[in-house]
Amino acid sequence: MVQVEYDDSRETQIDRKSFILSGVKFLVMYLLFIIPLTCIFVFLSIIPETVLWLDEISLCFLEVTYLSMSVISLIVWGVMNADDERRPLRHCKTVLPMVIIGVAIWLISWKNSGGLLGSEGTRSWFWYDDYKKGADSWFLYSIYHMWVMPFIDYLKMSKFVSGKAVFAIGLVASFVPGVSYLGGVWLCGHYATTARKKVISILMMIPSLLLIGFVISTVFPRDHIFTIATYPRIDGSTVAMPFGENLARELMGMNAWQAQKQSRYNKTHQAYLNLINQKVDLIFVVDPSEAEMKLATEKGVRLQLIPIGKDAFVFLVHRESLIDNLTITQIQDIYSGKINNWQQVGGPNGPIVPYQRDENSGSQTFMERKVMKEKKKSQVDMEKIPPFMSGLIDVIADRRNAQKAIGYSFYYYANDMRRSEEIKFLSIEGVECNKENIKNDVYPFSAVIYAVIRADEPIDSPAAKLVNWLSTEKGKKTIEKSGFIPIEKNEMISIQ
Protein backbone atom coordinates (compact mmCIF):
# COMPACT_ATOMS: atom_id res chain seq x y z
CA MET A 1 0.00 0.00 0.00
CA VAL A 2 1.24 3.45 -0.92
CA GLN A 3 1.06 5.93 1.94
CA VAL A 4 0.13 9.46 0.90
CA GLU A 5 1.54 12.25 3.00
CA TYR A 6 -0.89 14.92 4.10
CA ASP A 7 0.38 18.43 3.36
CA ASP A 8 -0.56 20.43 6.45
CA SER A 9 1.09 23.63 5.22
CA ARG A 10 -0.90 23.56 1.99
CA GLU A 11 -4.20 23.41 3.90
CA THR A 12 -3.03 26.28 6.09
CA GLN A 13 -2.27 28.35 2.98
CA ILE A 14 -5.69 27.49 1.52
CA ASP A 15 -7.41 28.45 4.80
CA ARG A 16 -5.47 31.71 4.94
CA LYS A 17 -6.36 32.49 1.33
CA SER A 18 -10.00 31.57 1.95
CA PHE A 19 -10.04 33.77 5.05
CA ILE A 20 -8.63 36.76 3.16
CA LEU A 21 -11.01 36.28 0.24
CA SER A 22 -14.07 35.90 2.48
CA GLY A 23 -13.05 38.96 4.48
CA VAL A 24 -12.59 41.03 1.32
CA LYS A 25 -15.89 39.71 -0.06
CA PHE A 26 -17.74 40.71 3.11
CA LEU A 27 -16.11 44.14 3.09
CA VAL A 28 -17.10 44.74 -0.55
CA MET A 29 -20.63 43.53 0.11
CA TYR A 30 -20.85 45.85 3.14
CA LEU A 31 -19.76 48.82 1.04
CA LEU A 32 -22.33 47.89 -1.63
CA PHE A 33 -24.90 47.62 1.17
CA ILE A 34 -24.18 51.26 2.04
CA ILE A 35 -25.14 52.61 -1.41
CA PRO A 36 -28.95 52.19 -1.16
CA LEU A 37 -28.80 53.35 2.45
CA THR A 38 -27.05 56.51 1.26
CA CYS A 39 -30.09 57.25 -0.90
CA ILE A 40 -32.39 56.63 2.08
CA PHE A 41 -30.18 58.89 4.23
CA VAL A 42 -30.52 61.74 1.73
CA PHE A 43 -34.27 61.10 1.60
CA LEU A 44 -34.58 61.22 5.40
CA SER A 45 -32.39 64.34 5.50
CA ILE A 46 -34.50 66.29 3.02
CA ILE A 47 -38.08 65.13 3.54
CA PRO A 48 -38.59 66.21 7.19
CA GLU A 49 -37.28 69.70 6.38
CA THR A 50 -39.00 70.50 3.09
CA VAL A 51 -42.01 68.26 2.48
CA LEU A 52 -43.45 66.53 5.54
CA TRP A 53 -44.53 68.46 8.62
CA LEU A 54 -43.35 65.85 11.14
CA ASP A 55 -43.33 66.45 14.85
CA GLU A 56 -40.80 64.89 17.21
CA ILE A 57 -42.80 61.67 17.80
CA SER A 58 -43.35 61.03 14.09
CA LEU A 59 -39.70 61.64 13.29
CA CYS A 60 -38.67 59.30 16.11
CA PHE A 61 -40.85 56.52 14.64
CA LEU A 62 -39.32 57.12 11.21
CA GLU A 63 -35.74 57.02 12.46
CA VAL A 64 -36.24 53.87 14.58
CA THR A 65 -38.01 52.19 11.64
CA TYR A 66 -35.05 52.95 9.42
CA LEU A 67 -32.58 51.65 12.01
CA SER A 68 -34.51 48.40 12.53
CA MET A 69 -34.69 47.82 8.77
CA SER A 70 -30.92 48.28 8.48
CA VAL A 71 -30.11 45.84 11.32
CA ILE A 72 -32.63 43.21 10.16
CA SER A 73 -31.24 43.42 6.63
CA LEU A 74 -27.80 42.58 8.02
CA ILE A 75 -29.24 39.63 9.97
CA VAL A 76 -30.96 38.25 6.86
CA TRP A 77 -27.71 38.69 4.97
CA GLY A 78 -26.03 36.51 7.59
CA VAL A 79 -28.74 33.84 7.18
CA MET A 80 -28.28 33.81 3.41
CA ASN A 81 -24.50 33.45 3.63
CA ALA A 82 -24.30 30.90 6.46
CA ASP A 83 -23.45 27.92 4.24
CA ASP A 84 -21.33 26.24 6.91
CA GLU A 85 -22.90 26.97 10.30
CA ARG A 86 -20.71 24.30 11.92
CA ARG A 87 -17.70 26.56 11.59
CA PRO A 88 -18.74 29.83 13.32
CA LEU A 89 -15.10 30.87 13.80
CA ARG A 90 -14.74 31.22 10.04
CA HIS A 91 -17.64 33.66 9.96
CA CYS A 92 -16.11 35.65 12.81
CA LYS A 93 -12.95 35.95 10.76
CA THR A 94 -15.05 37.03 7.78
CA VAL A 95 -16.44 40.11 9.55
CA LEU A 96 -13.20 40.94 11.36
CA PRO A 97 -11.63 43.16 8.61
CA MET A 98 -14.79 45.27 8.34
CA VAL A 99 -14.96 45.74 12.12
CA ILE A 100 -11.24 46.55 12.44
CA ILE A 101 -11.45 49.16 9.66
CA GLY A 102 -14.58 50.68 11.25
CA VAL A 103 -13.00 50.99 14.68
CA ALA A 104 -9.77 52.34 13.17
CA ILE A 105 -11.70 55.04 11.28
CA TRP A 106 -13.52 55.98 14.49
CA LEU A 107 -10.25 56.25 16.45
CA ILE A 108 -8.56 58.30 13.71
CA SER A 109 -11.59 60.60 13.45
CA TRP A 110 -11.70 61.05 17.22
CA LYS A 111 -8.00 61.88 17.41
CA ASN A 112 -7.99 64.28 14.45
CA SER A 113 -11.10 66.10 15.60
CA GLY A 114 -9.74 66.68 19.08
CA GLY A 115 -13.03 65.33 20.44
CA LEU A 116 -15.17 67.82 18.53
CA LEU A 117 -18.68 66.65 17.81
CA GLY A 118 -19.52 69.88 16.10
CA SER A 119 -21.76 72.56 17.36
CA GLU A 120 -24.53 71.29 19.57
CA GLY A 121 -27.81 71.35 17.77
CA THR A 122 -26.21 71.94 14.41
CA ARG A 123 -27.25 69.65 11.63
CA SER A 124 -25.38 67.54 10.71
CA TRP A 125 -22.75 65.87 12.90
CA PHE A 126 -20.28 65.82 10.04
CA TRP A 127 -21.31 67.82 7.00
CA TYR A 128 -22.83 71.15 8.02
CA ASP A 129 -20.74 71.74 11.09
CA ASP A 130 -19.62 75.07 12.45
CA TYR A 131 -16.47 73.36 13.67
CA LYS A 132 -14.74 72.66 10.39
CA LYS A 133 -12.02 70.66 12.05
CA GLY A 134 -14.57 68.29 13.53
CA ALA A 135 -16.56 68.11 10.29
CA ASP A 136 -13.54 67.25 8.14
CA SER A 137 -12.25 64.68 10.60
CA TRP A 138 -15.52 62.75 10.78
CA PHE A 139 -16.32 62.81 7.05
CA LEU A 140 -14.74 59.40 6.33
CA TYR A 141 -16.59 57.88 9.28
CA SER A 142 -19.89 59.25 7.97
CA ILE A 143 -19.27 57.55 4.61
CA TYR A 144 -18.14 54.18 6.00
CA HIS A 145 -21.00 54.04 8.53
CA MET A 146 -23.65 55.61 6.33
CA TRP A 147 -26.25 53.08 7.41
CA VAL A 148 -26.39 54.51 10.94
CA MET A 149 -25.90 58.20 10.10
CA PRO A 150 -29.59 59.22 10.04
CA PHE A 151 -30.04 57.79 13.53
CA ILE A 152 -26.87 59.41 14.93
CA ASP A 153 -27.84 62.68 13.27
CA TYR A 154 -31.27 62.47 14.87
CA LEU A 155 -29.86 61.74 18.35
CA LYS A 156 -27.50 64.68 18.12
CA MET A 157 -30.10 67.11 16.82
CA SER A 158 -32.82 66.06 19.26
CA LYS A 159 -30.36 66.22 22.19
CA PHE A 160 -31.89 63.11 23.78
CA VAL A 161 -28.38 62.03 24.73
CA SER A 162 -25.18 63.89 25.58
CA GLY A 163 -22.34 64.50 23.15
CA LYS A 164 -20.19 61.85 24.85
CA ALA A 165 -23.00 59.32 24.50
CA VAL A 166 -23.21 60.08 20.77
CA PHE A 167 -19.47 59.39 20.49
CA ALA A 168 -19.97 56.05 22.26
CA ILE A 169 -22.89 55.14 19.97
CA GLY A 170 -20.65 55.96 17.01
CA LEU A 171 -18.08 53.45 18.28
CA VAL A 172 -20.71 50.78 18.96
CA ALA A 173 -21.97 51.24 15.40
CA SER A 174 -18.63 49.87 14.15
CA PHE A 175 -19.53 46.47 15.64
CA VAL A 176 -23.25 46.32 14.81
CA PRO A 177 -23.01 45.15 11.14
CA GLY A 178 -20.67 42.29 12.06
CA VAL A 179 -22.68 41.28 15.13
CA SER A 180 -25.96 41.39 13.14
CA TYR A 181 -24.43 39.26 10.39
CA LEU A 182 -23.19 36.71 12.96
CA GLY A 183 -26.67 36.73 14.48
CA GLY A 184 -28.00 35.54 11.16
CA VAL A 185 -25.34 32.83 11.06
CA TRP A 186 -26.31 31.76 14.56
CA LEU A 187 -29.96 31.42 13.49
CA CYS A 188 -28.89 28.97 10.79
CA GLY A 189 -26.96 26.86 13.26
CA HIS A 190 -29.60 26.66 15.98
CA TYR A 191 -32.93 26.55 14.17
CA ALA A 192 -34.41 24.30 11.53
CA THR A 193 -35.34 25.86 8.20
CA THR A 194 -39.03 26.21 9.12
CA ALA A 195 -38.33 27.74 12.53
CA ARG A 196 -35.70 30.00 10.99
CA LYS A 197 -38.25 31.39 8.55
CA LYS A 198 -40.65 32.11 11.40
CA VAL A 199 -37.96 34.01 13.31
CA ILE A 200 -37.11 36.07 10.23
CA SER A 201 -40.82 36.76 9.66
CA ILE A 202 -41.17 38.00 13.25
CA LEU A 203 -38.11 40.21 12.82
CA MET A 204 -39.55 41.66 9.62
CA MET A 205 -42.73 42.54 11.52
CA ILE A 206 -40.81 44.96 13.74
CA PRO A 207 -40.21 47.67 11.08
CA SER A 208 -43.74 47.05 9.76
CA LEU A 209 -45.26 47.79 13.17
CA LEU A 210 -43.02 50.82 13.61
CA LEU A 211 -44.08 52.07 10.18
CA ILE A 212 -47.74 51.72 11.19
CA GLY A 213 -46.93 53.71 14.34
CA PHE A 214 -45.31 56.37 12.17
CA VAL A 215 -48.37 56.67 9.94
CA ILE A 216 -50.71 56.92 12.94
CA SER A 217 -48.51 59.58 14.55
CA THR A 218 -48.65 61.75 11.41
CA VAL A 219 -52.47 61.81 11.29
CA PHE A 220 -53.05 62.09 15.04
CA PRO A 221 -54.26 65.67 15.68
CA ARG A 222 -52.12 67.88 17.87
CA ASP A 223 -52.87 71.45 18.85
CA HIS A 224 -50.08 74.01 19.04
CA ILE A 225 -50.17 77.69 19.91
CA PHE A 226 -48.63 78.80 16.62
CA THR A 227 -48.33 77.64 13.04
CA ILE A 228 -45.46 78.63 10.77
CA ALA A 229 -47.76 81.27 9.27
CA THR A 230 -48.69 82.86 12.62
CA TYR A 231 -45.31 82.50 14.33
CA PRO A 232 -43.59 85.87 14.90
CA ARG A 233 -40.41 86.79 13.04
CA ILE A 234 -37.62 86.21 15.56
CA ASP A 235 -33.91 87.00 15.67
CA GLY A 236 -31.34 87.02 18.43
CA SER A 237 -27.84 86.45 19.73
CA THR A 238 -25.76 83.33 19.19
CA VAL A 239 -26.29 82.19 22.78
CA ALA A 240 -30.09 82.32 22.30
CA MET A 241 -30.21 79.94 19.32
CA PRO A 242 -30.91 76.77 21.36
CA PHE A 243 -33.66 78.71 23.14
CA GLY A 244 -35.18 79.64 19.79
CA GLU A 245 -35.07 76.01 18.69
CA ASN A 246 -36.83 74.85 21.85
CA LEU A 247 -39.52 77.50 21.35
CA ALA A 248 -40.16 76.33 17.78
CA ARG A 249 -40.46 72.73 18.96
CA GLU A 250 -42.74 73.60 21.87
CA LEU A 251 -44.99 76.21 20.22
CA MET A 252 -45.23 74.86 16.65
CA GLY A 253 -44.52 71.16 17.16
CA MET A 254 -41.48 71.28 14.91
CA ASN A 255 -38.98 68.45 14.93
CA ALA A 256 -35.34 69.15 15.79
CA TRP A 257 -34.20 69.63 12.18
CA GLN A 258 -36.98 72.09 11.33
CA ALA A 259 -36.46 74.00 14.57
CA GLN A 260 -32.75 74.40 13.86
CA LYS A 261 -33.54 75.73 10.39
CA GLN A 262 -36.15 78.11 11.82
CA SER A 263 -33.75 79.53 14.45
CA ARG A 264 -30.80 80.80 12.47
CA TYR A 265 -30.09 84.02 14.34
CA ASN A 266 -27.87 86.87 13.15
CA LYS A 267 -26.03 87.71 16.40
CA THR A 268 -26.85 90.54 18.82
CA HIS A 269 -26.04 93.68 16.82
CA GLN A 270 -27.78 92.61 13.63
CA ALA A 271 -30.76 91.40 15.66
CA TYR A 272 -31.19 94.87 17.17
CA LEU A 273 -30.86 96.47 13.72
CA ASN A 274 -33.48 94.11 12.31
CA LEU A 275 -35.91 94.89 15.13
CA ILE A 276 -35.41 98.66 14.82
CA ASN A 277 -35.86 98.45 11.03
CA GLN A 278 -39.01 96.32 11.50
CA LYS A 279 -37.56 93.28 9.72
CA VAL A 280 -38.36 91.10 12.75
CA ASP A 281 -40.95 91.32 15.54
CA LEU A 282 -39.05 89.89 18.51
CA ILE A 283 -35.42 89.32 19.50
CA PHE A 284 -33.68 87.45 22.33
CA VAL A 285 -30.53 89.34 23.32
CA VAL A 286 -28.55 90.97 26.10
CA ASP A 287 -28.49 94.75 26.75
CA PRO A 288 -28.25 97.04 23.71
CA SER A 289 -25.07 99.00 23.06
CA GLU A 290 -24.90 102.81 23.00
CA ALA A 291 -24.85 102.72 19.19
CA GLU A 292 -27.97 100.56 19.07
CA MET A 293 -29.88 102.79 21.50
CA LYS A 294 -28.83 105.86 19.51
CA LEU A 295 -30.08 104.27 16.27
CA ALA A 296 -33.42 103.46 17.89
CA THR A 297 -33.78 107.06 19.01
CA GLU A 298 -32.93 108.37 15.54
CA LYS A 299 -35.52 106.07 13.99
CA GLY A 300 -38.15 107.05 16.54
CA VAL A 301 -38.41 103.48 17.82
CA ARG A 302 -39.03 102.77 21.49
CA LEU A 303 -37.80 99.37 22.63
CA GLN A 304 -39.28 97.31 25.42
CA LEU A 305 -36.93 94.86 27.14
CA ILE A 306 -38.54 92.03 29.13
CA PRO A 307 -36.03 90.05 31.25
CA ILE A 308 -36.72 86.33 30.83
CA GLY A 309 -33.60 84.50 32.02
CA LYS A 310 -30.22 84.77 33.68
CA ASP A 311 -26.84 83.80 32.27
CA ALA A 312 -23.36 84.87 33.34
CA PHE A 313 -20.31 86.53 31.86
CA VAL A 314 -17.19 84.39 32.29
CA PHE A 315 -13.47 84.89 31.81
CA LEU A 316 -11.55 82.08 30.17
CA VAL A 317 -7.98 80.82 30.26
CA HIS A 318 -6.35 77.60 29.10
CA ARG A 319 -6.71 74.69 31.53
CA GLU A 320 -2.91 74.60 31.97
CA SER A 321 -2.82 78.22 33.13
CA LEU A 322 -1.64 78.67 36.73
CA ILE A 323 -4.21 81.43 37.28
CA ASP A 324 -7.53 80.39 38.84
CA ASN A 325 -8.92 83.63 40.24
CA LEU A 326 -8.91 87.34 39.46
CA THR A 327 -10.49 90.35 41.13
CA ILE A 328 -12.71 92.77 39.22
CA THR A 329 -10.01 95.44 39.54
CA GLN A 330 -7.38 93.11 38.11
CA ILE A 331 -9.59 92.33 35.10
CA GLN A 332 -10.20 96.03 34.53
CA ASP A 333 -6.47 96.74 34.75
CA ILE A 334 -5.61 93.88 32.36
CA TYR A 335 -8.02 95.16 29.70
CA SER A 336 -7.07 98.81 30.23
CA GLY A 337 -3.38 97.98 29.79
CA LYS A 338 -2.22 98.72 33.36
CA ILE A 339 -1.40 95.07 33.98
CA ASN A 340 0.41 93.25 31.18
CA ASN A 341 2.30 90.46 32.95
CA TRP A 342 0.82 87.47 34.77
CA GLN A 343 3.38 87.96 37.53
CA GLN A 344 1.47 91.11 38.54
CA VAL A 345 -1.56 88.99 39.49
CA GLY A 346 0.28 86.15 41.20
CA GLY A 347 1.11 84.09 38.13
CA PRO A 348 4.34 83.17 36.32
CA ASN A 349 6.51 85.74 34.59
CA GLY A 350 5.01 86.09 31.12
CA PRO A 351 3.02 88.50 28.93
CA ILE A 352 -0.77 88.69 29.12
CA VAL A 353 -2.58 88.58 25.78
CA PRO A 354 -6.15 89.81 26.34
CA TYR A 355 -8.55 88.77 23.57
CA GLN A 356 -11.71 90.76 22.91
CA ARG A 357 -14.84 90.63 20.75
CA ASP A 358 -15.88 92.94 17.94
CA GLU A 359 -17.75 96.17 18.67
CA ASN A 360 -21.51 95.94 19.28
CA SER A 361 -21.41 92.18 19.81
CA GLY A 362 -23.37 91.09 22.88
CA SER A 363 -20.30 90.00 24.83
CA GLN A 364 -18.35 93.15 23.95
CA THR A 365 -21.23 95.39 25.00
CA PHE A 366 -21.47 93.56 28.33
CA MET A 367 -17.71 93.84 28.81
CA GLU A 368 -17.72 97.59 28.25
CA ARG A 369 -20.85 98.43 30.27
CA LYS A 370 -20.81 95.93 33.13
CA VAL A 371 -17.14 95.06 33.61
CA MET A 372 -15.02 97.98 32.46
CA LYS A 373 -17.69 100.60 33.28
CA GLU A 374 -15.92 103.96 33.25
CA LYS A 375 -12.49 102.51 32.50
CA LYS A 376 -11.33 102.70 28.91
CA LYS A 377 -10.02 99.56 27.23
CA SER A 378 -6.60 99.58 25.66
CA GLN A 379 -6.31 99.42 21.89
CA VAL A 380 -5.62 95.91 20.59
CA ASP A 381 -4.59 94.46 17.26
CA MET A 382 -7.36 93.13 15.04
CA GLU A 383 -5.87 89.64 15.32
CA LYS A 384 -6.80 89.72 19.00
CA ILE A 385 -10.47 90.29 18.07
CA PRO A 386 -11.83 87.00 16.69
CA PRO A 387 -14.89 87.60 14.46
CA PHE A 388 -17.00 84.94 16.18
CA MET A 389 -17.51 83.86 19.78
CA SER A 390 -16.41 80.35 18.80
CA GLY A 391 -13.18 81.80 17.39
CA LEU A 392 -12.31 83.38 20.74
CA ILE A 393 -12.81 80.07 22.55
CA ASP A 394 -10.67 78.29 19.94
CA VAL A 395 -7.85 80.76 20.54
CA ILE A 396 -7.96 80.28 24.32
CA ALA A 397 -8.10 76.48 23.87
CA ASP A 398 -4.96 76.52 21.71
CA ARG A 399 -2.10 75.07 23.77
CA ARG A 400 0.32 77.60 22.28
CA ASN A 401 -1.60 80.27 24.21
CA ALA A 402 -1.76 78.27 27.45
CA GLN A 403 0.33 80.63 29.58
CA LYS A 404 -0.61 83.98 28.05
CA ALA A 405 -4.18 84.25 26.68
CA ILE A 406 -7.34 85.41 28.45
CA GLY A 407 -10.76 86.02 26.94
CA TYR A 408 -14.44 86.14 27.80
CA SER A 409 -17.80 84.73 26.78
CA PHE A 410 -21.20 83.91 28.20
CA TYR A 411 -21.46 80.95 30.55
CA TYR A 412 -24.09 78.96 28.64
CA TYR A 413 -22.27 79.31 25.34
CA ALA A 414 -18.87 78.35 26.73
CA ASN A 415 -20.16 75.63 29.06
CA ASP A 416 -22.81 73.97 26.86
CA MET A 417 -22.91 75.18 23.27
CA ARG A 418 -19.17 75.37 22.62
CA ARG A 419 -17.66 73.45 25.50
CA SER A 420 -13.94 72.71 25.30
CA GLU A 421 -12.00 70.56 27.74
CA GLU A 422 -8.98 72.77 27.06
CA ILE A 423 -10.37 75.86 28.79
CA LYS A 424 -11.37 76.72 32.34
CA PHE A 425 -13.45 79.49 33.87
CA LEU A 426 -11.77 81.89 36.28
CA SER A 427 -13.31 82.57 39.66
CA ILE A 428 -14.06 86.25 40.21
CA GLU A 429 -13.40 87.67 43.67
CA GLY A 430 -13.09 84.06 44.83
CA VAL A 431 -16.58 83.13 43.56
CA GLU A 432 -16.85 80.24 41.12
CA CYS A 433 -19.15 80.60 38.12
CA ASN A 434 -21.80 77.88 38.28
CA LYS A 435 -25.58 77.75 37.99
CA GLU A 436 -26.13 77.82 41.73
CA ASN A 437 -24.08 81.01 42.19
CA ILE A 438 -25.74 82.59 39.15
CA LYS A 439 -29.22 81.76 40.46
CA ASN A 440 -28.44 83.19 43.91
CA ASP A 441 -26.82 86.35 42.45
CA VAL A 442 -23.53 85.50 44.19
CA TYR A 443 -21.38 85.52 41.04
CA PRO A 444 -20.44 89.17 40.25
CA PHE A 445 -21.15 89.16 36.51
CA SER A 446 -24.65 87.80 36.02
CA ALA A 447 -26.12 88.61 32.61
CA VAL A 448 -29.79 89.04 31.76
CA ILE A 449 -31.32 87.63 28.59
CA TYR A 450 -34.13 89.87 27.30
CA ALA A 451 -37.08 89.37 25.02
CA VAL A 452 -37.16 92.70 23.14
CA ILE A 453 -40.09 94.04 21.15
CA ARG A 454 -41.05 97.45 19.80
CA ALA A 455 -43.26 99.48 22.15
CA ASP A 456 -45.92 99.91 19.47
CA GLU A 457 -46.38 96.13 19.13
CA PRO A 458 -50.14 95.37 19.47
CA ILE A 459 -51.00 93.45 22.64
CA ASP A 460 -52.70 90.71 20.59
CA SER A 461 -49.82 90.33 18.12
CA PRO A 462 -47.96 87.00 17.82
CA ALA A 463 -44.83 88.56 19.35
CA ALA A 464 -46.75 89.84 22.39
CA LYS A 465 -48.49 86.48 22.81
CA LEU A 466 -45.17 84.67 22.77
CA VAL A 467 -43.66 87.04 25.34
CA ASN A 468 -46.66 86.51 27.61
CA TRP A 469 -46.36 82.74 27.21
CA LEU A 470 -42.76 82.91 28.48
CA SER A 471 -44.06 83.97 31.92
CA THR A 472 -46.16 80.78 32.21
CA GLU A 473 -44.90 77.58 33.85
CA LYS A 474 -44.34 75.94 30.45
CA GLY A 475 -42.50 79.02 29.26
CA LYS A 476 -40.20 79.03 32.29
CA LYS A 477 -39.48 75.32 31.83
CA THR A 478 -38.50 76.01 28.21
CA ILE A 479 -36.18 78.81 29.37
CA GLU A 480 -34.59 76.49 31.91
CA LYS A 481 -34.31 73.67 29.37
CA SER A 482 -32.40 76.08 27.13
CA GLY A 483 -29.68 76.58 29.74
CA PHE A 484 -30.86 79.84 31.31
CA ILE A 485 -32.22 80.48 34.80
CA PRO A 486 -35.82 81.77 34.60
CA ILE A 487 -36.54 85.17 36.11
CA GLU A 488 -39.61 85.16 38.33
CA LYS A 489 -40.60 88.81 37.94
CA ASN A 490 -40.62 89.89 34.31
CA GLU A 491 -40.54 93.67 34.80
CA MET A 492 -40.59 95.49 31.49
CA ILE A 493 -37.86 98.04 30.72
CA SER A 494 -38.57 100.73 28.12
CA ILE A 495 -35.78 102.42 26.14
CA GLN A 496 -36.62 105.59 24.21
What domains lie within the chain, and their CATH numbers? 8-219 (no CATH), 232-496 (3.40.190.10)
Q: Using 50, 70 and 90 to split pLDDT, how confident is the model at 256?
A: confident
| Short-list 33, 16, 175, CA closest to 101 | 175
* Per-residue pLDDT at 145: 79
Q: For residue 455, give Cα distances in angstroms to 108, 302, 307, 463.
A: 55, 5, 15, 11
Angle at 413 between CA 288 and CA 324, to 5 degrees: 105
pLDDT digits (tens, 9 = 90+) for 378-412: 555 545 677 677 778 888 888 787 788 899 998 88
- The pLDDT of residue 230 is above 80: yes
- The pLDDT of residue 374 is above 80: no
Q: How many CB atoms lie within 10 A of CB 375?
A: 15
Angle at 58 between CA 52 and CA 467, to 5 degrees: 80
* Per-residue pLDDT at 307: 92
Taking the CA of residue 152 as centre, how many other CA atoms within 13 Å lie in the half-sphere pointing to its CB?
A: 28
* Per-residue pLDDT at 283: 94
Secondary-structure percent of the chain, ordered helix, strand, coil, rounded to 5:
55, 10, 30
- By mean pLDDT, which of 69-83, 295-309, 402-416 is the weakest? 69-83
Give the mean model confidence (pLDDT) for residues 339-360. Answer: 88
Q: Using 50, 70 and 90 to split pLDDT, how confident is the model at 280?
A: very high
* Per-residue pLDDT at 138: 76
Are the beta carbons of 40 and 62 closer than 8 angstroms?
no
Q: Which residues contact 172 (CB under 8 A, 6 or more apart)?
A: none
Give the mean model confidence (pLDDT) for residues 161-172. Answer: 77
Range ranked top by mean pLDDT from 95-99, 331-335, 391-395: 331-335
Give the mean model confidence (pLDDT) for residues 181-185. Answer: 84
* Per-residue pLDDT at 124: 35
- The pLDDT of residue 46 is above 60: no
Q: Using 50, 70 and 90 to split pLDDT, how confident is the model at 327?
A: very high
* Per-residue pLDDT at 453: 94
Q: State the Cα–Cα distance between residues 59 and 185, nearest whole angstrom.
A: 32
Q: Which residues contact 449 (CB under 8 A, 6 or more apart)?
A: 239, 240, 243, 284, 285, 286, 307, 308, 309, 310, 311, 484
- The pLDDT of residue 150 is above 60: yes
- The pLDDT of residue 463 is above 90: yes
What letter represents residue 109's amino acid? S
Q: How many CB atoms lie within 10 A of CB 416?
A: 15
Cα torsion angle, 155, 72, 41, 108, sign: positive
* Per-residue pLDDT at 263: 79
SS3 (DSSP) at 450: strand
- The pLDDT of residue 222 is above 80: no
DSSP letter string over 248-302? HHHHH---HHHHHHHT----HHHHHHHHHTTS-SEEEESPPPHHHHHHHHHTT--
- Provide the mean pLDDT of the chain: 78
* Per-residue pLDDT at 63: 78
Helix (H) or strand (E) holding 215: helix 193-219
- The pLDDT of residue 41 is above 70: no
* Per-residue pLDDT at 427: 94
Q: How are beta strands 493-495 and 303-318 bridged, if at all?
A: antiparallel
* Per-residue pLDDT at 491: 54
